[in-house]
Amino acid sequence: MRSTSTRFAPVLPRLWLLVALAAACHSRAPSPAPSAEPEESAAPDRLTEEERLPDSETAFGLSLPPDMRLTRHFNDSAYFLGRSDVSSVVLELQPQLTARNVEMASGRAVFARTQIRKDAAQRWVRIEVSAEQPGTQVYVQDITPPPAPRGLSEREIWSRVGRNADGTPLDQNQQY
């Protein structure tokens, strides 16, 4: 019977070489020296110490009382809902608007056509404040008319609305 030490004798030097190479592959590179000034990597979704969250929700540059929450927002309108009463919401809104008057009814107030002072686009809006079952709802609607077309001849203006220059329809089959 052959001894086990003689059976593995030719393989043993190769095995040590393989172990030494494997250990050399896993050696760590020296860590970089710490820099003199620490890196300031502010995350874009975090506030800095100087920044604060707004006290209330806004739409179109209009801020409402802190207890009002934005429930729906579209390109041309927004809905807010909160526990404030109608009169306190109206008093909060008046300094932010260019309107001089407000239509008041029982449980309802309407700013029919006004502009919001903080709105950079200077849109015309209609604001309705109404008493709802859970509290007060504020509906803000953009009612800014589209800009008038410029540089068009009178004939082109009439043709855009489907009429001749004398007011008759372009298509005689289309009487409206």
Instruction: Note the pTM of the prediction, 2 decimals.
Output: 0.59
Of 125, 58, 56, 138, which is closest to residue 90 (Cα–Cα)?
Answer: 138
Q: Output 82-86 pairs: Cβ under 8 A, ≥24 positions apart.
A: 82/135, 82/136, 82/138, 83/134, 83/135, 83/136, 84/135, 84/136, 85/131, 85/135, 85/136, 86/129, 86/130, 86/131, 86/136
Tens-digit pLDDT profile for the chain (176 aa)?
Answer: 555 556 656 666 676 766 666 666 655 656 666 555 555 566 777 777 776 666 667 788 888 888 888 899 899 999 999 998 999 999 999 999 999 889 999 899 999 999 999 888 899 999 999 998 878 999 999 999 988 888 998 889 888 888 888 888 888 887 65
Q: What is the pLDDT of residues 109-141, one digit of tens each?
A: 999 999 999 888 899 999 999 998 878 999 999
CA distances from 35 to 28, 31, 38, 39, 85 (A): 20, 12, 7, 9, 58
